[in-house]
Structure 1
Amino acid sequence: MDSPFDNKIFQEATLVKALSSHTYEAYFHKNWCIYSVPHGGYVTACFLQVAATHFNTTLAAQNQPHTTALHVDFLRRTEVGPALFTVKDTKIGRQASVIHIALTQNGREETLAVITNSNMHTETGATYPTTYRLNPEPIAVSFDQLSRNEDKNWRRQDNMPYKQFRKALENMEFYFPRDGQKSRTCADQWVRLRRGEKWTNHSLGFLSDAWPISVEALRHTENPYDITPEAAANRKTDSKDIGTMWYPTLLLNIDFKKTLPAKGVEWLFVRAESKQIKNGRLDVEVTIKDASGDLVAVSHHVTFAVGLERNLAKRGGGGGEAKI
């Protein structure tokens, strides 16, 4: 593919080109990176785009256009530039099919994905309501007021921590509870993409990995995600450890519960919660709902908390091979 420049919107930044019936190429852009490494959710979204293209072309006869489950293992750091995706049709079935996709750059196998597709529009079978509810339940929201940053319960977070290093997250608008989060290990947010783009099923890969980091909320005396007036007035701006940590995803799973409209939606709700942070490793459970309160997706992560030098080290240099 051509080598486009930066500042691409999401749709442009996740374009894939078919090289053959089972190989595809994408280009990872700088403005979708965390420090020097392409954002894990952005890479996941590219995997979803490859799967969508594959099931709409090579496997079109299956009539299984919707990804229902995804698992991604991040073996090594990806990098800005061309990326090759190689697909293996592992199990082609009547109700669902499974493919394996390997991502390579410069001859290195960096990321592996297992993706299951079916057709959500034709699914039938046992259906029973459950008593599941988010606890605590999300506070009320008015989307008309939210779009003007005038909602009485939610306020835009204009300065995400360390945004100069986290270019990928600058492509989103985050709205947090005005009265602060209920817990430093559980964060609620309403989010939308900047520049008029809408959330689609393939951009859920990005959203599933874009949330306040509980490590930062705990390691600072002043919670960098606290947007209450008192916190904003007292917050210091000269923290000595700004940008010293990196939180690479080791593995990521997504269970897709519904299809979003083809034209996408403006707003989605996300709750991210960590149950344990220990020895540089943490879990994250992510719940995504739409404006009507329907469950859209559930995601689980295993994530590292490591020094920034692991992100910035040259491949084959003092930081070792391109491993996380």
Structure 2
Amino acid sequence: MMDAISSVSPVPGTRNRFTVEITRDWCTQHSVLGGFSTAVMLSAGKRFIAQEVGAARYPDPVHAFVQFLHMVHPGLLVITCTLLRVSSKQCAVQVELAHHPQSSDGSDSLSTKVLGIFTYADIPRETGLTQKGMPVVATQLPDRGKECIAIDDPVVYATPVTAKMNWVAPRSPDGLWGHRLGGHHREVWLSFRDGSTFSDLLHLAYISDLPLQPPATHIPDFYAKYAISTLCLSIEFKKRPEPATKWVMIRSNSHQVLNGRYDVELQIFDEKGELLALSNHVAFTADLKPKSTARI
């Protein structure tokens, strides 16, 4: 993943534009995974800041807000960065992702597909008010070896991004995944099948878009009937993951699924139970049209 993200390169003759080639390796049912688009944009924003104000001042993203305006399809993409604010502790950047005018989507101008507002800082140097709070779910993370089993359903291999991961979760007697806490609370352990570690905050941006989707875990064969698209997401990065982190736990909840629109609230933990990041999403479901069997 980091190899793909590090391929972001500056456009010659510009100070705020970058290009990146995204392949189908990072796609879902219908488009590039929003979490991967976010990670790529965060990487470009970091490179832009390093160029404008120095690499050491703001090495970490601490917050990201991302609005998905149109689907992002694989191909050559252009990223445009605008410096919004620089202070002694933080730097804010607007980042826009668009298909390259020469890409296969046929567009002749840089029409923004994804808009991000990102804040960067230096997490180890942050100081200030700190309070201990009670967790919303007051129970330990499920034991990966004793309370969980691998999700090995065909849906895991149905898209490139899900096939890249090992999925391990509690399973209920009715065969639904992640149903240990009740309601729409879901839990899933994730690791990379290729042995890569979660060594960077950009990994957390990527997996913030890979929870057990609440409506999907209530309906058998969900992905054969519905598609999911994200309207917007926000991520707050709490802590840099340890470089050797192999597994992370995503604990997610949806407060209400109504008329096809729903919220997702995420917590991402390391194996020690340390909170690494928080994320909130607004997502939509859409009925998949059955394939036509008519003969021409």
Would you say same fold, with TM above 0.5? yes
Aligned ranges for residues 110-189 of structure 1 at < 5 Å? Answer: 110-132=113-135, 134-141=137-144, 151-159=145-153, 161=155, 163-164=157-158, 166-178=159-171, 181-182=179-180, 183=182, 185-189=184-188
The CA distance in 1 between the partners of 2:231 and 2:244, in whole Å, is: 29
Range moving further from structure 2, 155-164 or 280-289: 155-164
Task: Say yes or no: does 1:278 pair with 2:258.
Answer: yes
The CA distance in 2 between the partners of 1:88 and 1:242, in whole Å, is: 38
CA contact (8 A) 1:184 1:217 kept: no
The CA distance in 2 between the partners of 1:73 and 1:21, in whole Å, is: 24
- Secondary structure (helix, strand or coil) at the match of 1:202 reads helix
CA contact (8 A) 2:156 2:163 kept: no
The CA distance in 2 between the partners of 1:13 and 1:302, in whole Å, is: 27
- Secondary structure (helix, strand or coil) at the match of 1:54 reads helix
Cα 1:69–1:242 change in 2 (3 A) is closer
Task: Say yes or no: does 1:75 pair with 2:77.
Answer: no
Cα 1:40–1:264 change in 2 (3 A) is farther
Aligned ranges for residues 239-258 of structure 1 at < 5 Å? Answer: 243-258=224-239
Which AA in structure 2 matches 1:17? S
The CA distance in 2 between the partners of 1:273 and 1:22, in whole Å, is: 37
Return the offset for 1:59. Answer: 2.7
Cα 1:307–1:108 change in 2 (3 A) is farther
Cα 1:78–1:277 change in 2 (3 A) is same
Unaligned runs of 5+ in 1: 1-9, 142-150, 221-238, 313-324
Which AA in structure 2 matches 1:174? W
Return the offset for 1:21. Answer: 2.5
The CA distance in 2 between the partners of 1:160 and 1:97, in whole Å, is: 43
The CA distance in 2 between the partners of 1:103 and 1:81, in whole Å, is: 12
CA contact (8 A) 1:176 1:190 kept: yes
CA contact (8 A) 1:62 1:94 kept: no
Return the offset for 1:184. Answer: 5.4
The CA distance in 2 between the partners of 1:208 and 1:61, in whole Å, is: 25
Which AA in structure 1 matches 2:151? Q
- Which residue in 2 is equivalent to 1:193? 192
2:96 to 86, 91, 102: 102
Q: Output one character per residue of 1:186-244: Cα deviation in whole Å (capped at 9) or x when no partner.
A: 21011111211111210111100102122122233xxxxxxxxxxxxxxxxxx6x7523
Cα 1:162–1:57 change in 2 (3 A) is same
Aligned ranges for residues 291-306 of structure 1 at < 5 Å? Answer: 291-306=271-286
Q: Output one character per residue of 1:71-97: Cα deviation in whole Å (capped at 9) or x when no partner.
A: 000000111101111000000111111
Return the offset for 1:160. Answer: 5.1
Which AA in structure 2 matches 1:197? S
Identity %: 23
Q: Output one character per residue of 1:124-183: Cα deviation in whole Å (capped at 9) or x when no partner.
A: 112232233533432234xxxxxxxxx22221112252632x221111111112555223
TM-score by length of 2: 0.85
Unaligned runs of 5+ in 2: 102-109, 173-177, 292-296
- Which residue in 1 is equivalent to 2:217? 217
The CA distance in 2 between the partners of 1:28 and 1:108, in whole Å, is: 17
CA contact (8 A) 1:87 1:100 kept: yes
Return the offset for 1:264. Answer: 4.8
Q: Output one character per residue of 1:40-63: Cα deviation in whole Å (capped at 9) or x when no partner.
A: 111111112112322333331661
